[in-house]
């Protein structure tokens, strides 16, 4: 006889054998890992975030028994199109825990139809991927099957994902059935490119445009998922993931899944930046402060530092664009973005107070053009450096409207030092980043002696030039001399216009009146006044009038040339030559040549 202690189980324990695995434990150990995007797929309309308008419409339609026979869900990837289609299928076929329920906007997720639809095994809910079933034969199977009633559900439902991938013939084959389907059939379409769906199909469906999910709601959703997973994630890291998701819950959950695997028991903002190749927002604000201060060397050093940390130049420029956009929103008094840190909001408020709208818009356009060049350039880092230098030197230029006004008034305009004088004070953290970026270059022995390579060194002044006092320039003696002086002093195009198309009415420096012989640009008078002020140092009164004027200089030259030709033809020697050689022509002959002969 064997006692209870001598049972086979006890003997096995006594021999030191391991306990055989229990069936439930073995099944749990064998279950593969499910990614967060699948694990946290919404199972009810309450869990569907960011689509309140659609949920309200569907709820009212179900309560009032005004259900359409075809629904079309459209939107960007990851906003819940397929999930919404499955939720609608559950809402229409739910029978409740007691088996007596009807269509409801709040499916129970307990009854057999709800569980079968959630697990993708319900015989009356057919999902088809139009990307791999594009032909007429695939649609013909649906047309043949809709004639038969549902096997176990209230409605037979066909979910066609990426419906825009169906061929033209397949769409045409589906039209008649889609317009007048049997009462027990519902069609649910999902697509990311609704513009590719024929209008004949759109007109037969009730369309729902699923919106991008706001970053704030995504961050809250990701925080809830992190709590359920037992992972600590920094709020700033959640904000970064929500921004990178661009309104897509699936994309954000995939990034969060990767970030959890990347971290060691927790997820920090620095880990997310490293994983996504994002630039440190503090470093971006420091770089923007250097740009606004006109510190070219410091800006290049800051860009190089980010590049050495593995940040792509295009990511740096995108970060700068985001900062400029934040400054603009702060200037117009936009609502605070909760995804921004307190430091960012303070920095944007400080900069917005010192930058005009024109300066902000010009900065945006320059950075946007720079980003386009970086994305297409064979050398992205070099293209980014040139883009930043263009931003700095464009900032040194005065506003175009103010410049034209000053030139029209004959005022001298100096471009030196305007950027540094007009730049708003940088926030403390940006000033610290600027000093750190400049310190690296300051250690170089050439930093204090050599000018930057993009600036021209001033020409050395000669002793004679220093000794000779510079007197005020004198006005040209005649209109012809004035035109020649303009051509020699950097205004050849203006001189050509005055020479060919303008006759002088009155020339009494510092006053000139001209009469254009053809329509001219309205900027001619303004440009001439500015050029004359620069040439003579005086403010000229320039006007265009319709009174009698001398012929243009071009017309005078033509008349002089014709008179000279006539003088040559009237000379006795030329007349004798024509008489001796009938049919001869006069070419290349001048009056001076005749006299020398």
CATH, residue 241: 1.10.8.60
Q: What is the structure's pLDDT at 597?
A: 46
| Residue at 473 is within a domain | no
pLDDT digits (tens, 9 = 90+) for 363-377: 999 999 999 999 998
Same domain, 201 and 247: no
pLDDT digits (tens, 9 = 90+) for 103-114: 888 899 899 999
Q: What is the structure's pLDDT at 159?
A: 93
* Alpha helices in 468-523, H assignment, sequence order: 479-488, 492-501
Same domain, 436 and 569: no
Same domain, 48 and 73: yes
Same domain, 271 and 295: no
Q: What is the structure's pLDDT at 395?
A: 63
Same domain, 301 and 411: yes
pTM: 0.55
Q: What is the structure's pLDDT at 339?
A: 59
Residue 360 CA, distance from chain mean position: 15
Cα R_g (the chain), whole angstroms: 40
| Residue at 456 is within a domain | no
pLDDT under 70: residue ranges of the chain: 1-31, 277-280, 334-341, 395-473, 522, 588-597
Same domain, 546 and 487: yes
| Residue at 310 is within a domain | yes
| CATH number (domain holding residue 495) | 3.30.300
Same domain, 417 and 515: no
Q: What is the structure's pLDDT at 583?
A: 72
| Residue at 326 is within a domain | yes
| CATH number (domain holding residue 159) | 3.40.50.300
Q: What is the structure's pLDDT at 333?
A: 79
| Residue at 203 is within a domain | yes
Same domain, 225 and 204: no
Same domain, 198 and 231: no
Q: Which helix (H) or strand (E) holds 161?
A: strand 156-161
For the sheet containing 70-74, what is the strand order?
125-129, 156-161, 185-191, 70-74, 206-209
Same domain, 197 and 262: no
Same domain, 194 and 292: no
**Buried b / exposed e along 542-579 (16+ C-beta atoms within 10 A):** bebeeeebbebbbeeeeeeeeeeeeebeeeeebeeeee
What is the domain extent for residue 359? 281-442
Q: What is the structure's pLDDT at 71?
A: 93
Same domain, 137 and 54: yes
Q: What is the structure's pLDDT at 165?
A: 92
**10 token code pair:** 């006890």
Q: What is the structure's pLDDT at 317?
A: 92
For 118, half-sphere exposure in the C-beta direction (CA atoms, 13 angstrom radius) is 18
């Amino acid at each position: 006889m064997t006692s209870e202690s001598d049972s086979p189980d006890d003997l096995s324990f006594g021999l030191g054998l391991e306990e055989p695995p229990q069936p439930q434990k073995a099944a749990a150990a064998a279950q593969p890992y499910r990614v967060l995007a699948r694990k946290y797929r919404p199972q009810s309309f309450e869990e569907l975030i960011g689509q309140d308008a659609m949920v309200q419409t569907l709820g009212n339609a179900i309560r009032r028994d005004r259900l359409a026979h075809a629904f079309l869900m459209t939107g960007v990837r990851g906003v819940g199109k397929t999930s919404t289609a499955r939720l609608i299928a559950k809402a229409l076929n739910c029978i409740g825990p007691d088996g007596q329920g009807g269509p409801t906007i709040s499916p129970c997720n307990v009854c057999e139809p709800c569980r079968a639809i959630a697990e993708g095994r319900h015989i009356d809910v057919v999902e088809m991927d139009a990307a791999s079933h594009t032909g007429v034969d695939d649609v013909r199977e649906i047309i043949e099957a809709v004639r038969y009633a549902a096997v176990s559900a209230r409605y037979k439902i066909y979910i066609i994902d990426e419906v825009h991938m169906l061929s033209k013939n397949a769409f045409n084959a589906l039209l008649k059935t889609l317009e007048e389907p049997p009462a027990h059939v519902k069609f649910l379409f999902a697509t990311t490119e609704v513009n590719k769906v024929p209008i004949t199909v759109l007109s037969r469906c009730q369309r729902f445009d699923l919106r991008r999910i706001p970053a704030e709601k995504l961050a809250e959703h990701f925080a809830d998922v992190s709590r359920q997973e037992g992972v600590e994630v920094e709020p700033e890291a959640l904000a970064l993931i929500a921004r990178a998701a661009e309104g897509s819950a699936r994309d954000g959950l995939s990034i969060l899944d990767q970030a959890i695997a990347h971290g060691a028991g927790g997820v920090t903002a620095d880990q997310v930046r490293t994983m996504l190749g994002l630039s440190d927002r503090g470093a971006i604000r420091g770089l923007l402060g250097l740009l606004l201060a006109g510190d070219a060397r410091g800006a290049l050093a800051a860009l190089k530092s980010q590049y050495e940390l593995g940040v792509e130049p295009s990511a740096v420029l995108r970060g700068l664009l985001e900062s400029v956009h934040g400054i603009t929103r702060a200037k117009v008094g936009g609502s605070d973005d909760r995804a921004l840190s307190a430091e960012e909001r303070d920095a944007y408020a400080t900069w917005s107070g010192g930058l005009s709208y024109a300066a902000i818009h010009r900065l945006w356009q320059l950075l946007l053009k720079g980003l386009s060049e970086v994305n297409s350039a064979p050398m992205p880092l070099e293209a980014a450096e040139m883009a930043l230098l263009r931003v700095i030197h464009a900032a040194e230029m005065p506003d175009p409207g103010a410049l034209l006004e000053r030139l029209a008034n004959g005022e001298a305009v100096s471009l030196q030092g305007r950027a540094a004088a007009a730049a708003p004070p940088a926030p403390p953290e940006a000033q610290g980043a600027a000093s750190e970026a400049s310190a690296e270059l300051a250690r170089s022995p050439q930093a204090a002696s050599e000018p930057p390579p993009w600036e021209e060194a001033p020409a050395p002044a000669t002793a004679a030039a220093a000794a000779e006092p510079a007197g005020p320039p004198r006005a040209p003696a005649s209109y012809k001399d004035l035109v020649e002086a303009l051509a020699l002093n950097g205004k050849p195009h203006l001189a050509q216009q005055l020479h060919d198309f303008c006759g002088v009415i009155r020339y009494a420096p510092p006053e000139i009146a001209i009469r254009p012989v053809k329509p001219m640009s309205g900027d001619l008078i303004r440009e001439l006044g500015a050029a004359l002020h620069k040439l003579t140092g005086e403010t000229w009164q320039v006007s265009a009038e319709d009174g009698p004027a001398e012929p243009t200089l071009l017309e005078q030259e033509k008349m002089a040339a014709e008179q000279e030709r006539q003088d040559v033809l009237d000379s006795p020697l030329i007349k004798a030559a024509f008489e001796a050689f009938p049919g001869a022509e006069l070419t290349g002959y001048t009056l001076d040549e005749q006299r020398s002969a």
